[in-house]
Chains A and B, each alone.
Chain A
């Protein structure tokens, strides 16, 4: 990315939720997203990872204005979509589409698959009825479903099939950016591989920019170009995928990587890097938000909050000791490399190899 062309940016993005408002005094708020700065380049796959409750889903919704930010801006193609009028935003949605986590609740049970996929085109007045029907059939076969199922209802399909319907629907209006909120985490591992590969192929084919929210590092490693790691509403590290996995600079990133399971006795030495739960997001810790769980924390971390600064490989990190710590990455020694992660990558590769040779009659089923 020598001349970065950013399609979607977030600047100082904040979203708070009021949890309890006493009759007198200040309301308690959760800072789900607390000052996030992001720049997503055109055509890249950008992943946002973090634990449950770190604010990644909120961030995804803010990026397409399914929620309005408390503060800050979301810039899409030079326009601040956090503050444009409702009608203008609706027109823009043609270019910004969203894929949901749960394929079982994200499709209207009263609409046929065909109607669901056609809807975005109808809303944005794309094509004639006949053209739209043709497009529905084309999209269905593009995501690996038979065009004949257009008359059936979502409940008649498996999770993986529904998620493909969801993807076809998201593609129908010809978007430029596709944002997936954990698009595969509700699916079986073998189905995940198919759906991930579909997303990657479609990205190439339609020149999409993908933003993927995930907590599964195997998926991220496989798909993403750049990764942002979130902790308690903030980005703690952002780097190209290889740099992040091979040489993490933030202790939290290292802990996430180390947490990829190893199904082998003694494969990992006493490396319990992360203990306890994230702190209560209503009463955030002082200083670095990660310090109560960080094995490297010092007094400096307890009092002073590190800001996001440049790290190597064109990334950013928010840790006082980013330059001093030596943290293990994925390939920092064969004994720390996760066999499970390897097995997962292997499944993905196999699924791809199969599908590429699938011009011959396929025999496997979902």
Chain B
């Protein structure tokens, strides 16, 4: 120990490396683990769809149209006698994909543009912000519908359309957060040490703007699943007879009184997946924050 101080060296147990600490913190968070569990159940079931002993999602049983749940059809049947359990399982693929892929698209475009606008300011910011505002002027769903109609009807195009429509939210959020972080002393300190702009963005700006973006992303997954439903309803998303939760929900709307189970199951599934993503996202945000114990 040096002679310059009267503070004794702290005796500190050597802590495990950073990666495992984030993981340990996440594991200790019960609600995050519950959320992760929920999402993984749906993902696993969706992936196992081809090998599960269920009827095909487009197979009709004219003897059982709009039947309530029974031993033969655990979740009941729809308006043309298709097994709802089977359609739920196959539909999980489309819905989860639509949620995750479109948010991934939105993040991949929104974060770089938002950080660029917030970091560079000046005319870069002016151009990006005006474009963002123009996009925001159109309601989310209208924009998605216009884009999907322009790209042509298919699940892939629907995901691209939903992703692009969600981009402005992430640009705005990333820009605002970046502008906040850039005024911190530690960013000036990074310049003083001699870091390049890309290094500052990568090591200083991004880690500090992730938490709110993460929360927004989990919320947007829910919006995206529902947006896919709307597009499917208009024939711009998942193409019939292939199922998605959204399209099932939209069809069921007409039979709410006669066959409430048709709407109930996709509704519950969407609710649970969204809940799962939100809980997990919250937990991840807390685990990534070193200030939080």
Contact residues of A with B, CB < 8 Å? 64, 66, 90-91, 93-94, 97-98, 100-102, 105-112, 119-120, 123-124, 141-146, 148-149, 151-153, 155, 161, 166, 169, 173, 194, 197-198, 201, 351, 354-356, 358-359, 361-366
Contacts and interface: CB of A to CB of B under 8 A. Distances in A.
A148 to B, nearest CB: 5
Contact of B192 (A64, A141, A149, A354): A64
Nearest to A119: B193
Contacts of A91: 194
Interface stretch (B64-72, B102-110, B113-121, B203-211): B203-211
B6 A354 contact: yes
20 contacts: A66-B191, A90-B195, A93-B194, A94-B194, A100-B185, A105-B184, A106-B189, A108-B203, A141-B1, A141-B2, A142-B4, A144-B4, A146-B11, A148-B12, A151-B17, A153-B290, A153-B291, A197-B4, A201-B4, A366-B7
A123 B3 CA distance: 30
B190 interface: yes
Interface string B8-19: 111110110110
- Most chain A C-beta atoms within 10 Å of own C-beta, residue among B5, B17, B192, B291: B5
A156 to B, nearest CB: 8
Nearest to A155: B291
Contacts of B184: 105
Given A66-B188, A198-B4, A355-B4, A109 B194 contact: no
A355 B5 contact: yes
Interface of B: 1-12, 14-15, 17-18, 184-186, 188-196, 199, 203-204, 207-208, 290-291
B199 A123 contact: yes
A293 to B, nearest CB: 32
Given A141-B9, A166-B189, 18 more contacts: A66-B188, A105-B185, A105-B186, A108-B186, A108-B208, A110-B208, A144-B7, A144-B9, A149-B12, A151-B14, A155-B291, A194-B4, A194-B5, A198-B4, A351-B6, A355-B4, A358-B6, A364-B7
Contacts, number: 129
Contacts of A143: 2, 4-5
A169 B193 contact: yes
Contact of A106 (B14, B186, B291): B186
A155 B290 CA distance: 8
A123 B9 contact: no
A148 B194 contact: no
Given A149-B10, A151-B15, A355-B4, A108 B204 contact: yes
B193 A173 contact: yes
A325 B2 CA distance: 48
Contact of B207 (A110, A148, A201): A110
B190 A108 contact: yes
Contacts of A166: 189
A120 B193 contact: yes
A74 B3 CA distance: 36
5 pairs of A and B residues whose beta carbons are closest in the complex? A144-B5, A93-B194, A146-B9, A106-B185, A98-B192
Given A105-B184, A123-B199, A153-B290, A362 B6 contact: yes
Contacts of B8: 361-363, 365
B7 A93 contact: no
A362 B3 CA distance: 10
A200 to B, nearest CB: 9
